[in-house]
Chain A
Amino acid sequence: MSLRIKRAVGAVVFLLLAVSVIGWIQNVVTPKYDWPVHNRRSYKSIRGAFLEPRNSLDAIYLGTSQTFCSISPMDIYNASHIRSYNLASIGQRVPVAYYLLKSILHTQSPRLVVIDASGFFYSEEELLVPGKWEEMIDSLPLSCYREKLDMMKDIARMQNREDDSEYLLSALLPLLRYHSDYHVEEDSFQRLYMNEPYQRKGYVATYDFIAVEEEEVRTARAMLDESDPYADDDDNRKVLEGCIAANEPYLEKLRDLCQAHGAELAFMKVPVCANTRARGYWSANKHALTQAMADRLGVKFLDMCYDDLGLDWQFDAFDGGIHVNHSGARKITARLLDWMQREFGLSSEANAKVDAQWDHQSQIYASEVEYLDLELEHDLLGFLDRVKAGDYTLFTAVSGGIGDYWSDEAQRSLEAVTGTKLDLRDADNGAYIGISSHGHMIEELHDPKSCSTEGRLSDGLQYKVRSKTSDAKKGGTVDIWGTDYAPEGRGIHFVVYDNQLGCVVDAVCFDTSTEQLKAVQETRYQYVMRQKLIEYVHGRM
């Protein structure tokens, strides 16, 4: 080989190597957010939509975080075989929704596009928040380079940064924006090579239940009434009219885009229970303006805030009414499915290959949801039933005495789950500790005043458990690997250790001194559990 050819080959190889390294650096440093850890929309959720088999989606959902917490496409699939995807994102602006839809339409041809109306009320200034755009630009695959550039141009124009060519270029080279941010998360590398569709289909399953204050429930409901006495400056009709007018051009573009691709556009509003702007309230004013917009554009509108879905804001709220948790999402999803089938006759065409893939993912989704259901269970008997069905080690500790409302039924359930023969209502058993698995008691202690134990199970699990009658607040402790998971409170504590995942998956205290047997959660286990669950799900995929 002549020197010239040798050098040319060397230069090309070097160039390829350098470009690969730069590309790798770009992938690593570009943020890959994951809700709710970063309070940003999951990169995986958006990117997953582009990995769906071509033309396999029947419906697309757009909207804000309220939407991605409320609509579970996999639940819809399980109930109807309709394949859909939730492309909502945090504080999704209508222009962003438009570009997301435009991007996904390269590979999908849905028959229905449903957009949540909460994003219609961002003011002209609020449309400008660059972060809301940049997150989505970075989540889109490079094949959507036109949409990426168009989005960047739009946001640059709105910010008077049209001449900032590097900013525009950063749509394709996010490295320009993030090279020194070092947003390298633990699982960045795992997500780099994401090449499988995403089993949650853009839905974000949330697991806490933080009840809405009674006062807020009352005022939020009142705001839905036209004679709303609680409407304040936030709900100023003129301001809201200005907001929706600012979004109208993009809503029109959205409708035209749908029409051009043979899809039907629809509006919806998922239920919220909030009474301030910061918390994303919904009101009669907003409803009326959205309805008027829907009429003007000739689209249908489903406002679920006015529907009786059986939502219980004590247990179906994820964070005090702004979003619903998985329990609430099920109810909303069922309502939306019903509406889509009735109003649009939406159904799915069978596709054996795609259905097989969705069925496989449905199983993975079910195993994820199984854990969520356990966490969301706020009924004592229901909780014991779920524990009985799983491969768990259950730590039980009574704090401040068992109280007056420990029923026969509860006693029988506990016996069935743990295999105990002791009656917790017996005064001698005021302090009680039980460690059981699969209906067999491994270790059990009781004492009128206090008892404690520590040790190591056969799989190496280290524990330290204590029960005291004298301390009503922190009378029960369940320490596993050096962390006390028992929540503060009187009653009976349960800490559930999953033998397969190898971590705690639930920690709850039922207050048996009150008739309601109120459940109190401890969430310290959740971070480790999420990581283990990701590994577990990844292993199954």
Chain B
Amino acid sequence: MNIVSLFYLAFVAVVALAYFITPRRFRWVTLLIASIANYLSYDLKLAVWMLVTSISIYTGGLLIERQEQKYAAQLKAQPDLDRADKRALKKQNERVKRRYAALVAAINIAIWVVFKFADLFITTLNKYLSTGLSLWHLVLPLGISFYTLQAVSYVVDLSRGKCEVQRNYFKLLLWLCFFPQMLQGPICRYRETAPQLYEPHDFDYRRVKFGMQRMLWGYFKKLVIADRVVTISERVFGHSGEYQGLVFVIGALAYTIQIYADFSGGMDIIGGAAEILGVYMPVNFDHPYFSRSISEYWRRWHITLGAWFREYVFYPLSISRGAQKLTAACRKRLGPNMAKMLPTYLAMVLVWILNGIWHGAGWQFVAFGMYQGILIVLGMQFEPVFEWIIAKLKIRTDCFSWRLWQMLRTLALIMGGRIIFKASGLYEALRIGWSILKIHNIWIFTDGTLFKLGLNAWEMFVLFVAVLVLLTVSLLQERGVHIREAIERQNLVFRWALYIGAIATVILLGVYGPSYDAAGFVYAGF
């Protein structure tokens, strides 16, 4: 069910109504039924893969629990074990649990890899080995990139003893396929979200109101901004042969705005719907374009994905046996400093490559990941140099202008990444980058070119005002203003005028309906 549709709104309303009138102990069942219905409404056949994942983690969880019980029983049966034996037993227990977790994770990642990369793999084989294999054209099961990561996090957390096993299969299934988050995340940890799903929530006027307001804000971002500005980015990158120089900067800026409004708007719709039902989804965006460095940006952009990679890939990689061996080897040959940094940098670049691959099956996504990883590594490596230059030039860093410069610089680097991400291929991305550096056609701002990118003057005006509204709200939030609470304190006439004005704005200025080919959510495609 498309979350940008009247049917979705009606669905949320019906589910909420059903949820609040269901007896408290069965409320989670209402959520489960709604989530299954939502999933099946997309594709009946592909739901089998969700079933496989849920059964695998359920079984994995029970096996891990059984091992834990076995370990406890062993300890109980042998109370006179010395410390070394106890440690050996514990190690053995950890190893077995890790193996179970690894097996379940491997099964699920294998399914995801096959669905996502089979065609890329075959295309590469055909290209370099002339194998002549035909493509599989597999259709991705809905939300596989998100729920696979969730599934892995569940079994890994269980093996690490960070969460408790769920013995009720249906409750586990609910956590995996909770309907608001199905399309594009966020990637929820079991220990954070599951208890909220199982706990019965009573109707709370304020919470429901806030949830609806958040959904409305999400629709504003998605329909008024993202689906409008997409015309420019699609025009520029879809016909990149017709443009040069600064037009690509406009295209990259448009895509930068689009992808933020699209993804964060989607998160607001999802978060709002969940909030109505009393479930608070983890924060996925924290005004990332106010970041002053790339590493900060990635701590504020798609937070749950970054956290997942940090916790389940980067840390294990950094402390792995291979990393330790590499550190030792580096210490011998390159000195202690390099020995400290190099394994971390390598792990970081690897994580970013994986992050890029998660976004899509193509070499440009690998390059996108590498670009981010290299920028972060360079930023860390050259930080002392920058600090030295700042000190020498006596640049003030405690003022607005410096912060603004840092933000704009980061934004420019982000836009560079967006070009790699959006271009039709790696070579095309390089060509676009080269064109921006080489051709300075500043006259595009005065010769009417901007109005030939798919939006007329009125549409441009609407977009400009909408982005201005988004920027203002973001600035206020960045300064710690809680918008919904602030509105709540206003007089009734003002509040209602604001709400109805916002609804009318989305209805009138939103890009939706049968006359439009409104863009789907960018992240739903991953």
Residues of A in contact with B (beta carbons under 8 Å apart): 7, 14, 17-18, 21-22, 25, 29, 161, 164-167, 169-170, 173, 175-181
Contacts and interface: CB of A to CB of B under 8 A. Distances in A.
A19 B7 CA distance: 17
Nearest to A176: B513
Interface in B502-526: 503-504, 507-516
A170 B7 CA distance: 13
Interface residues of B, number: 19
A7 B507 contact: no
Interface centre among B499, B510, B513 (most CB of A within 10 A): B513
Contacts of B508: 25, 29, 179-180
A180 B503 contact: no
Contacts of B510: 179-180
Contacts of B500: 17-18, 21
Contact of B514 (A18, A25, A170): A170
Q: Report the 3 A-B pairs with minimum CB-CB distance, sorted nearest first.
A: A167-B514, A176-B513, A7-B205
A69 to B, nearest CB: 30
Chief secondary structure at chain B's binding surface: helix
B6 interface: yes
B503 A176 contact: no
A22 B507 contact: yes
Q: Is the interface of A mostly helix, strand, loop or mixed?
A: helix
B496 A21 contact: no
Nearest to B510: A179
B5 interface: yes
B7 A165 contact: yes
- Give the residue among B7, B509, B515 with the most A Cβ atoms within 10 A: B515
Interface in B195-250: 205
Contacts of A21: 500, 503-504
B503 A177 contact: no
Contact of B499 (A14, A22, A176): A14
Contacts of A170: 513-514
10 contacts: A14-B496, A21-B504, A166-B514, A175-B507, A175-B513, A177-B515, A179-B507, A180-B511, A180-B515, A180-B516
Contacts of B516: 180
B456 to A, nearest CB: 12
Given A22-B507, A25-B504, A25-B507, A177 B499 contact: no
B509 A180 contact: yes
B514 A177 contact: yes
Contacts of A17: 496, 500
B324 to A, nearest CB: 56
A167 B515 CA distance: 8
A395 B6 CA distance: 60
A22 B503 contact: yes
Contacts of A179: 507-508, 510, 512-513
A258 to B, nearest CB: 33
Nearest to A20: B500
Contacts of B503: 18, 21-22
A96 B192 CA distance: 57
A175 B503 CA distance: 13
Interface of B: 5-7, 205, 496, 499-500, 503-504, 507-516
Given A176-B513, A176-B514, A169 B504 contact: no
A177 B513 contact: yes
Contacts of A161: 514
Contacts of B7: 165
A18 B512 CA distance: 19
Contacts, number: 54
A165 B9 CA distance: 14
A314 to B, nearest CB: 44
Given A18-B499, A179-B508, 10 more contacts: A14-B496, A14-B499, A17-B496, A18-B500, A165-B7, A166-B6, A166-B512, A176-B512, A179-B507, A180-B511
A257 B480 CA distance: 67
B154 to A, nearest CB: 35
A25 B512 CA distance: 16
Contacts of A181: 515
Contacts of B496: 14, 17
Q: Which of B499, B509, B514 has the most CB of A within 10 A?
A: B514
Nearest to B495: A14
Nearest to B508: A179
Contacts of B504: 21-22, 25
A463 B130 CA distance: 87
Contacts of B507: 22, 25, 175, 179
A164 B514 contact: yes
A7 B204 CA distance: 11
Contacts of B515: 177-178, 180-181
A179 to B, nearest CB: 6
Interface centre among B508, B509, B516 (most CB of A within 10 A): B508
B210 to A, nearest CB: 14
A169 B496 CA distance: 28
B330 to A, nearest CB: 59
Contacts of B509: 180
Nearest to B513: A176
A180 B508 CA distance: 6
A129 to B, nearest CB: 15
Nearest to B462: A180
A41 B483 CA distance: 48
A67 B31 CA distance: 58
Contacts of A7: 205
Nearest to B208: A11
B59 to A, nearest CB: 37
Contacts of B5: 165-166
Contacts of B514: 161, 164, 166-167, 170, 176-177
A14 B508 CA distance: 19
A164 to B, nearest CB: 6
A167 B512 CA distance: 11
A364 B496 CA distance: 45
A29 to B, nearest CB: 7
A169 B499 contact: no
B461 to A, nearest CB: 13
A29 B515 CA distance: 14
Nearest to B459: A180
A22, A164, A175, A179: residue with the most chain B Cβ atoms closer than 10 Å: A179
A177 B507 CA distance: 11
Nearest to B518: A166
A243 B515 CA distance: 29
Nearest to A170: B514
Contact of A169 (B6, B205, B511): B6
Contacts of B511: 180
B496 to A, nearest CB: 6
Nearest to B506: A179
A433 to B, nearest CB: 47
Contacts of A169: 6
Nearest to B509: A180
Nearest to A175: B507
A166 B509 CA distance: 17
Contacts of A18: 499-500, 503
B213 to A, nearest CB: 12
Contacts of A164: 514
A173 B5 CA distance: 13
A165 B499 CA distance: 27
B12 to A, nearest CB: 15
A151 to B, nearest CB: 14
Contacts of B513: 166, 170, 175-177, 179
A301 to B, nearest CB: 39
A59 B513 CA distance: 38
Nearest to A22: B507
Nearest to B203: A4
B99 to A, nearest CB: 46
A181 B511 CA distance: 11
Nearest to B516: A180
A515 B514 CA distance: 60
A29 B5 CA distance: 20
A165 B7 CA distance: 9
